Structures are given as C-alpha cells and as structure tokens.
Amino acid sequence: MDPSGSLIISQLFWLIFLLMLVLPMIKAQTLEWSRERLIKAIETRRNSRVITMIHRQETRSLLGFFMMRFITIEDSEQVLRAIRMTPNNMPIDLIIHTPGGLALAATQIANALVDHKAPVRVIVPHYAMSGGTLIALAADEIIMDEHAVLGPVDPQLGQEPAASIVNIEKLKEPKDIDDETLIKIDLSKKALKQMYENVKSILIRKGYSEEESKRIAEELSQGKWTHDYPLTVEYLRSIGLKISTDVPEEVYALMDLYPQPAGTPSVQYIPVPYQRPGNNPPTGSRKS
C-alpha cells in the first residue's frame, strides 16, 4: 500500500476516535445549558427559586443494565444548600420525579422546606413515590399532572414492609417466633411510629389541623397499601390533601431534557444566592 495512503487512513482513524470521545461531552454540555436556560426562564416567570430532583429510573447503561437512582444523602445536601441560598421571602418550586429513596435524606429535605418562610410548591409531572411523597407533603401546594401519582410512605426494613412484619404477631404464638423475627417486629413498630409522628408533624406545621394530620398520617404511613401503590390526584384530595393540577407547560419541556442515562446531576438549580431589595442575604451564602 502507498505510504501516503496508510498515513491518511491512520489520521482518519484517530480523527474518528477523537470525535467519538468529544461528541458525547459536547452533547452533555449542550443539554446542561439547555436545562439551565429553561430553569432560569421558569424562575423568571414564577418569581421563585427552582430546584429539580429528577431520578430517571428507566434509562439503561451501556451494557444494558437498568440504572436505578434514588434520593440520597448527596441529594439532601444539595437541596438544603439551594434552600439556604434562597431568601426567606422568595418562593421555592421543587420539581420532583423519583421512585423514593433514603428516609433520612427525604426527611431532611421535607423539614427544610417546611421551615422556609415563603411559599413552597412541589411540582410532580409524573410520579414521586415513598420519600418523594414525604417531600411533597412539606409543600404549601402540591402541583401534580392530573395523571401523576404519589405513593405510601410506610417504612421498609430492607425489602420487607414494616407493617407486614408487625402482623406476624397476629399470625403466630409468641413461643413460635424466633429471636431474630422478634427483633424485626420491635424495629418495625418503632419505624411505623416514627414515620407516623414525622408525617403528622410536617402536616401540622403546614397548617393542617391535628385531626386532619393524624388521619392523613395514618392513611399514608401505616401499611394500608403496598409500598408501590399509586395514589392518584382524586384519592389524595379525598383524604384532605391540597392538590392542584396546574402544572406549568415549561415543566414538561424541562422533563424532556432529562433523557440521558445515569451521570446527570439529580439536583440542579442556578448556583447563585438570590437577593431582593430590603432582604438580608441568607446566612452562610456566598457573595455573588
């Protein structure tokens, strides 16, 4: 073969190799800029801080395995930082799409949202299960697509529902229950009580009466449904939750910008502290 021809082939090979490396990075960065522009547009229109927590459960990795994403401590750290950077008189719009996750992380986020002085709106375009529902309960207004769903917040011990473990006592004589199961039953009772009190406290702090809060907490946290049971807008309204179905069109457009596999930040916001005239910067925020 002509040496010059071999050189051209070699150069083409390396050019194609470099393009294969660079193009995914360019595509990812372009998508990131598109999300930031749309988040900023939503913030401007709604005069709020927009935070997104998007866990794409349905995407696949390169090797074809499902990549499951959940609410983690890292998520709670990022959301709490965003809330700290938001003035007390600025509303927060949290757009959430998640199958759930760590109860600790979800509880931290919920408590921080409850303590925010301005209105908090949690927007659910598709679903917010388990820990996502706990976070939604901390909103002044839950805004859902008319076909979106929330889920029960009953605690799980590993893969087993605490409410079902507790029921073992009703099915067996104490002498027939082994020590390990007795420990699980004890832990399950504590977990159910803790979640009930947590949900009740959140609802009372958001303005629900004590009677309403107890009833809703009992309905959602004590194992009435399977953990993945979809709770519809109609049902949620029937138990007394304040639900709106006026999801902004921009939120659907934003969801279209999260098609890529794991690696996308699940919590995102414009990373600067906002200030309004006459409002002191939030404690711990950085100067812009």
d(CA 58, CA 227): 19
**pLDDT confidence band for 260 (50 / 70 / 90):** low
Cα–Cα nearest to 248, from 41, 97, 49, 55: 41
**What's the CA angle centered on 138, arms 136 and 141, to 5 degrees?**
70
Could you give all domains of the chain from N- to C-terminal order, each with its CATH number?
38-268 (3.90.226.10)
**Is residue 65 scored above 50 in pLDDT?**
no
C-alpha dist (Å) from residue 250 to 34, 135, 253: 12, 22, 5
**pLDDT over 50 (residue 277):** yes
- Is the pLDDT confidence value at 89 over 60? yes
Residue 4, pLDDT > 70, answer no
pLDDT tens, residue by residue, 109-164: 999 999 999 999 999 999 999 999 999 999 999 999 999 999 999 999 988 999 99
- As a three-state string, the secondary structure of 211-262 is HHHHHHHHHHHCCCCCCCCCECHHHHHHCCCCEECCCCHHHHHHHCCCCCCE
Instruction: Return the bridge partners of 110, or none.
Output: none
Percent share of the chain, pLDDT over 70: 87
Which pTM was predicted? 0.81
Q: Return phi, psi of residue 198, to 5°.
A: -65, -50
On whether the CB atoms of residues 200 and 214 are closer than 8 A, the answer is: yes
Higher pLDDT, 25 or 39: 39
Q: What is the pLDDT of residue 48?
A: 96
- Read off the pLDDT of residues 221-239 as tens digits, 9 standing for 90 and up: 999 999 999 999 999 999 9
**Is 24 in contact with 32 (CB distance < 8 Å)?**
no
